[in-house]
């Protein structure tokens, strides 16, 4: 209910997922609105679609913590309760990411050995290579050493499924490949990752290695992860905008670009279309949760549902628990009882500023 474009792309995407992948979907939200769209898309009798009515939803501009307190009958809270009650296997949301994170952490609880959930994003590799998992891509601005280690273990388990690869190579993002690079936290995290025997840690990589086939998982804090993802986006736009501008200057340029158009289309489709990934899992909860961009289209929602189904049927949770189990007694998760406390204090801080 709370995405940028309301329920339309979500319902359309869900219908696509039932038809294309035969995945059963429960739509959580206002039953009247849902029925309106199901009628519009001629899917009222789709046997794979269930509806779970609720009266409220969390808006993009709502404070996550306040919303979670006051909107218990909102679509995201009701959705997580469906996982908790083992009625559904996973949640897909295009709504307020902060609210998804806080609600998910409160209702499903964090896995043993996890301080904070992390968002794991797929980024394209150059040439014939497919993807790399980058985490955290924005959920946690400042991270301690053990959080980075948790990201490495969770990312490794996720990559095993999503990249279909045994023993994925895990790298730490730094400002150079030499051991002396990085700040104190990054260097200490490197020492920690070296000590974990069930992790295929390959050391530091630097920014220019990101699209190369040097690793399967990139670990960094959420501030850097967010900046990296958006800088990649910016770099791609730099090339396209500049090519467009320069090509217009000559007839040869215009013709060349016209003929090359299918190649660019293929590049966009294979490498750059965010809808082809659908969404990114919020790792670290006792349950599968996919966060989508607020402006996701139906294709993105469909692919996010496919991703959720794939992670559920490949036992992501069990794989993550196994990956974490050898290490979790070394992590001090008492530091933050739950994400709610931290969010709550963060919220108060911001409130006082105004």
Q: Enumerate binding residues for a second copy (CB under 8 A).
A: 124-128, 138, 141-142, 173-176, 179-180, 182-184, 186, 206-212, 222-224, 226-239, 241-247, 249-250, 252-253, 255-264, 266-267, 270-271, 350, 353
Closest distance of CB 118 from a second copy, Å = 14
Closest distance of CB 265 from a second copy, Å = 10
162 phi and psi, to 5 degrees? -75, -30
Give the residue with the Cβ less far from a second copy, 75 or 97: 97
Distance from C-alpha of 123 to C-alpha of 159, rounded to nearest angstrom: 12
Apex 309 CA angle, 304 and 310, nearest 5 = 95
Q: Do the beta carbons of residue 137 and residue 155 sit within 8 Å?
A: no
Distance from C-alpha of 275 to C-alpha of 102, rounded to nearest angstrom: 25
Give the residue with the Cβ less far from a second copy, 122 or 224: 224
Closest distance of CB 82 from a second copy, Å = 30
User: 237-249: b or e for each residue (b if 16 or more CB lie within 10 Å)?
Assistant: eeeeeeeeeebee
Closest distance of CB 262 from a second copy, Å = 6
Distance from C-alpha of 256 to C-alpha of 228, rounded to nearest angstrom: 31
Closest distance of CB 69 from a second copy, Å = 19
Q: Which residues pair with 245 in a beta bridge?
A: none
Give the residue with the Cβ less far from a second copy, 164 or 233: 233
Cα–Cα separations (whole angstroms), residue 259 to 238, 241, 255, 256, 263:
21, 18, 6, 5, 9
Give the residue with the Cβ less far from a second copy, 27 or 300: 300
Closest distance of CB 181 from a second copy, Å = 8
H/E stretch holding 170: strand 169-173
Give the residue with the Cβ less far from a second copy, 29 or 138: 138
Give the residue with the Cβ less far from a second copy, 48 or 223: 223
């Amino acid at each position: 209910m709370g995405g940028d474009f309301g329920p339309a792309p979500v319902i359309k995407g869900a219908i696509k997922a039932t038809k294309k992948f035969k995945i059963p979907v429960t739509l959580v939200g206002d039953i009247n609105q849902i029925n309106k769209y199901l009628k519009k898309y001629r899917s009222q009798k789709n046997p794979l679609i269930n509806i779970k009515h609720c009266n409220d939803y969390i808006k993009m501009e709502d404070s996550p913590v306040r919303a979670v307190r006051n909107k218990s009958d909102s679509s995201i809270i009701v959705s997580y309760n469906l996982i908790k009650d083992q009625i559904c296997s996973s949640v897909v949301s295009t709504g307020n990411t902060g609210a998804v994170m806080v609600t998910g952490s409160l209702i499903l609880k964090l896995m043993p050995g996890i301080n904070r959930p992390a968002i794991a994003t797929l980024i394209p590799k150059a040439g014939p290579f497919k993807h790399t998992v980058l985490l955290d891509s924005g959920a946690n601005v400042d991270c301690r050493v053990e959080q980075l280690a948790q990201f490495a273990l969770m990312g490794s388990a996720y990559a095993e499924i999503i990249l279909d690869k045994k023993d994925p190579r895990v790298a730490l993002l730094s400002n150079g490949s030499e051991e002396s690079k990085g700040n104190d936290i990054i260097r200490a995290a490197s020492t920690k990752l070296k000590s974990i025997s069930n992790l295929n840690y390959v050391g530091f990589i630097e920014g220019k290695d990101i699209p190369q086939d040097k690793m399967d998982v990139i670990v960094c804090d959420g501030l850097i992860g967010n900046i990296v993802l958006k800088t990649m986006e910016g770099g791609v736009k730099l090339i396209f905008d500049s090519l467009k501008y320069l090509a217009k200057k000559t007839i040869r340029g215009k013709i060349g670009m016209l003929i090359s158009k299918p190649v660019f289309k293929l590049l966009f489709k294979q490498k750059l279309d965010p809808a082809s990934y659908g969404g990114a899992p919020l790792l670290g909860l006792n349950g599968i949760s996919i966060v989508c961009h607020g402006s996701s289209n139906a294709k993105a929602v469909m692919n996010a549902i496919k991703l959720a189904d794939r992670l559920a049927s490949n036992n992501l949770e069990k794989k993550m628990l196994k990956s974490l189990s050898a290490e979790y007694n070394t992590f001090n998760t008492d530091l933050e009882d739950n994400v709610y406390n931290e969010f709550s204090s963060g919220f108060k801080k911001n409130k006082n500023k105004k």
